[in-house]
A = this chain, B = another copy of it.
Amino acid sequence: VESTIDSETDVPIGGLLVAVLVVSADPYLRGLIRSNNAFKPNDIISGFVAGKVLKANQVDKWVEGDLFGGTLPFSTHQVLSTESVAKIWKLSEFIDESDISAGIGILGMPGATAFGGLCDVLRPEPGETIFISAAAGAVGGLVASIAKTVYGLYVIGSCGGEDKVKLLQSSGHFDEVIDYKKFTTAAELANALRAAAPKGVDMYFENVGGIHFEAALAVLNDHGRVAVCGQISEYNQAQPKPFSLHALPLIYKSQRIEGFISSSWISGKIGQGKWIKDLHLWYKEGKISKQETVTEGIENWPFAFISLFEGANIGKVVVRV
């Protein structure tokens, strides 16, 4: 494959020829894959990938063999212009090629998301309680492990089904695990949260939407925070439902609801790259680990993607090219 574009003239000055080694299937792409939206039939979908530099034509800081993460078209080989090069981040200083899937996981978007949402948006205080929804997912599982191993928080997770509950319980990262499939109303889920959180909930890492948000707000303590990261229960809806938000409790309980996206951390705009250094350190120390559901072959990407919404995946969904 490489040989078809393997000549000096094909890579512009300041550009890179790269091979994509793994591509990610992430819930947020559902917002772009809609009949009325960004991607059209035969478009090449773009998303998070990790790969290796095959050729560098006078590019500052990049050489052949470097590993990278980035948002790129899902193509096995591609030439990056100077503009695109500015948007990828280097992985070589942290991992070798055998660990490349970390570039779309703990050292990629899910890592930046978990770090940003927990460390910078929620800002845990010692002894606090955190509730994490979609806790068996790539982001939720990482948040839980950091919450437990780095901050020592009281951690409550929700997930769907007995198998996932058992898996989370055995991870050692959770004090309580709630199977949300047992509940159909926010009031029921709130009761389960009250039972699981003897001191109430100080922080809610919101991945799901629907009854999760309203249940979490119902049990949120004074000075509680909600980091709004995802709404996976709503992505397949034609019209996502708005929440009912009562403003008065927000005031007299001094609570905060904050949306965020990983690009603020990946770009270095927030934290100047601290996220990847800290995550790599915690990875080396064994405080966090890769949790992956791997699919082989880029042609199988659609099945990996659909699995996200069927709750079939555990941890990061990785497609090996």
Contacts and interface: CB of A to CB of B under 8 A. Distances in A.
Contact of A246 (B229, B240, B260, B264): B240
A269 to B, nearest CB: 10
Name the 7 nearest CB pairs between A and B, nearest first: A250-B259, A242-B244, A251-B259, A256-B258, A245-B245, A243-B245, A257-B257
A213 B247 contact: yes
A183 to B, nearest CB: 19
B251 A242 contact: no
Contact of A242 (B228, B246, B256): B246
19 contacts: A31-B248, A206-B247, A228-B247, A230-B251, A231-B251, A234-B247, A240-B247, A242-B244, A242-B246, A243-B245, A245-B257, A249-B259, A250-B258, A254-B260, A254-B261, A255-B259, A256-B256, A256-B258, A256-B259
Contacts of A255: 258-259
A251 B261 contact: yes
Contact of A260 (B251, B258, B260): B251
A interface: dominant SS: mixed
A253 B261 CA distance: 8
Contacts of A261: 251-252, 254
A247 B231 contact: yes
A60 to B, nearest CB: 29
A234 B251 CA distance: 13
Interface in A140-159: none
A213 B244 CA distance: 13
Interface residues of A, number: 31
A209 interface: yes
Given A234-B247, A245-B242, A259 B252 contact: yes
A253 B258 CA distance: 10
Which of A228, A243, A259 neighbours the largest number of chain B CB atoms within 10 Å of its CB?
Answer: A259
Nearest to A213: B247
Interface in A185-237: 206, 209, 213, 228-231, 234
A231 B252 CA distance: 11
Given A247-B234, A247-B240, A247-B243, A259 B264 contact: no
Contacts of A209: 247
A174 to B, nearest CB: 24
A204 B260 CA distance: 18
Contact of A248 (B240, B250, B251): B240
